[in-house]
Copies of this chain bind each other. A is one copy, B any other.
Amino acid sequence: MSRFEARKGELLLDSEIVFHERVTFIGRIESRWSLNDCPKNLRQARERGAPARVHVAPQFRPALDGIAAGDALVLLYWMSHAPRNLLRQVPRHRSEGTGTFNLRSPVRPNPIGMGVVKVLEIDMESGIIGIDAIDAVDGTPLIDIKPHMPRADTVPE
């Protein structure tokens, strides 16, 4: 889906998107969510209390070495269902539109979602990581896993 009808207050990109690089899917997210009931962010996902799992593809499993239960990870995932050509959006919880880069909406030029999650368990052989929560629909492709670094991943006051 690359095109999308704008609603009042929204603004569409008026040119075709030019592509520069390619991503590989390193695995998939297994969750309880469909497009209809997916939480808008991880705080909501945690409040609704649904642990989830990450499935890492066989060829990438050695790259999980060193990750352990209790770790915090940054997951990056590809929200394939989202259109990419909306510059201003009117989210349901706002009365006025705002810029796409001022929102965490999946609708953005590169539909990459980001979640900081806690590892509940990990099995290197099957490539399965149990995590505390996720705000992504079942089957969402995963594109990166990083260790969360609390001191580097926050801005100083």
Contact = CB atoms under 8 A, between A and B. Distances in A.
A30 to B, nearest CB: 17
Contacts of A24: 17-20, 84, 109-110
Interface string A92-104: 0000011111111
A38 interface: no
Contact of A63 (B63, B72, B88): B88
Contacts of A59: 13-15
Nearest to A18: B24
Contacts of A117: 155
A121 B51 CA distance: 39
Contacts of A143: 109-110, 112
A65 B102 contact: yes
A101 B149 contact: no
Interface residues of A, number: 68
Q: How many copies does the complex hold?
A: 2
Contacts of A60: 13, 87, 101, 109
Interface in A114-157: 114, 116-118, 132, 141, 143-156
Interface in A7-29: 11, 13-15, 17-26
Contacts of A141: 20-21
15 contacts: A13-B59, A18-B24, A21-B23, A24-B110, A42-B153, A43-B149, A46-B156, A63-B99, A63-B101, A72-B154, A101-B144, A104-B152, A116-B153, A116-B154, A153-B153
